[in-house]
Amino acid sequence: MIRPVTMPKWGLSMERGRITAWLAADGDEVVTGDDLAEIDTDKIAGTLESPGSGVLRCVVAAAGEDVPVGGTIALLADPETPAEELDEAARQARQEIDAGAIAGDEGPVTGTVEVDGRSLAYATLGTEGDVVVLVHGYGGDKNSWLFVQEPLAEHRIVHALDLPGHGESTKDVGDGSLGTLADAVLGFLDALGVERAHLVGHSLGGAVVVAAAAKAPHRVEKLTLLAPAGFGGPVNARYLRGFATATSRRELKPHLAALFADPDLVTRRLADDLLRYKRLDGVDRVLTTLLGTLLDGDAQAIDAARLLSTVDVPVTFVWGREDAVLPPGTTRPDVEHVDGAGHLVHLEAPGAVVAAITR
């Protein structure tokens, strides 16, 4: 059987990606999750992981090529697959890339729902299976899940949500409390008719999904918490305040470097996109209000650990070992630390995060 490896769609705006390097070569045996190639998008560079196991029988697109989303860039197959079949599949894939348009890959389905008088935006991938809801952190949005939503959606329905005040949702967080944000998540489930879901939260979003589980544990199948706020340890208050008050790329970029173990991942486009968001009406008030939720002086104001102690659902913790925003502070023995990853562990080590969510 031949399995195509395609250019992923990492974010709603991505139309093409550039292969900057192949990390596997013709003839290499690979398994699901092995690194195959480095891909550069208009926002961030990432590593494409193998969608299956087999032998990399044919590289269709070379390093340095720009390929439309959905285009076949390589072929995996069993060693027994006849060369003639591979040649024909490669010829067709090459023809599609050269034509510049790939049929049948329309990316996430986007939509909005009304919850407590606010419009909440979301993007959905997958059509059947268990429901997973991804909740971003402070100043983030649904696009922050660009590297994990697609692999998760292979066997699940995966919603990436914009919290109130973020992304394309209404720029109003009310009192900005954890309870208000948790109600938004539960209202989102109500609006989509979802009875139970696996909630995945990053940073502030981690504390939000814990609060949602504390309010309605019967709605939560499982929690996966990525560098969650509210579990003890220090917080980089300088980063949070710097992000909230930065008004130019020059002011913002040094703070963004704190998000990654590899600061080279902070691109001009990433900084420009965040500045565009920060300049929207109401965002300044949103970020200032949420600072009051996150910080008590220079310490964490949230106690998500206490909330979690009231919830009896399976929980998985994942933390980048080089997190410079919320350094791992919990003494829980069940935290999975990821080497070479910072606060945005789902961007720097998506394979480890997908494995933790699906385990």
| 182 vs 162: CA distance, rounded Å | 12
Q: Which of 219, 205, 211 minimizes the C-alpha distance to 306?
A: 211
Whole-number pLDDT of residue 1: 82
CB atoms < 10 A from the CB of 285, how many?
14
| DSSP assigned state of 259 | G
Whole-number pLDDT of residue 41: 79
Exposed/middle/buried for residue 193 (C-beta within 10 Å: 0-12, 13-18, 19+): exposed
Whole-number pLDDT of residue 334: 82
CB atoms < 10 A from the CB of 95, how many?
9
Whole-number pLDDT of residue 191: 97
SS3 338: strand
Whole-number pLDDT of residue 133: 98
| 5 vs 53: CA distance, rounded Å | 11
Q: Is the dihedral of CA 41, 44, 46, 51 positive or negative?
A: negative
Query: What residues in the chain have per-residue pLDDT under 50?
Result: none
Query: What are the structure tokens assigned to 114, written together?
Result: 């009304």
Instruction: Give whole-number Cα distances, 233 to 229, 255, 301, 325, in Å.
Output: 9, 20, 11, 11
pTM over cut 0.85: no
| 143 vs 192: CA distance, rounded Å | 20
Q: If you count them, how many residues does the chain have?
A: 359
| 125 vs 109: CA distance, rounded Å | 7
Instruction: Give whole-number Cα distances, 64 to 17, 18, 37, 141, 256, in Å.
Output: 10, 6, 11, 30, 27
Question: How close are the terminal C-alpha atoms of the chain, in Å?
Answer: 26
| 89 vs 57: CA distance, rounded Å | 11
Whole-number pLDDT of residue 44: 72
Q: Which residues have CB under 8 Å from 272's CB, separation 6+?
A: 249
β partners of residue 157: 131
Q: Which of 282, 280, 299 minimizes the C-alpha distance to 291?
A: 299
Orientation angle between helical segments 237-245 and 249-256, nearest 10 degrees: 150
Whole-number pLDDT of residue 104: 59
| DSSP assigned state of 77 | E
| 173 vs 98: CA distance, rounded Å | 47
Q: Which residues of 172-189 are buried (b: 16+ CB within 10 A; e: fewer)?
A: bbbebbbbbbbbbbbbbb
β partners of residue 133: 159, 199
* Cβ(48)–Cβ(77) below 8 Å: no
Q: Please give the order of strands across the beta sheet that includes 72-77.
A: 2-6, 72-77, 54-59, 29-30
Chain centroid, CA 18 distance in Å: 20
* Cβ(150)–Cβ(125) below 8 Å: yes
- The pLDDT tens digits for 172-206 are 999 999 999 999 999 999 999 999 999 999 999 99
* Cβ(210)–Cβ(230) below 8 Å: yes
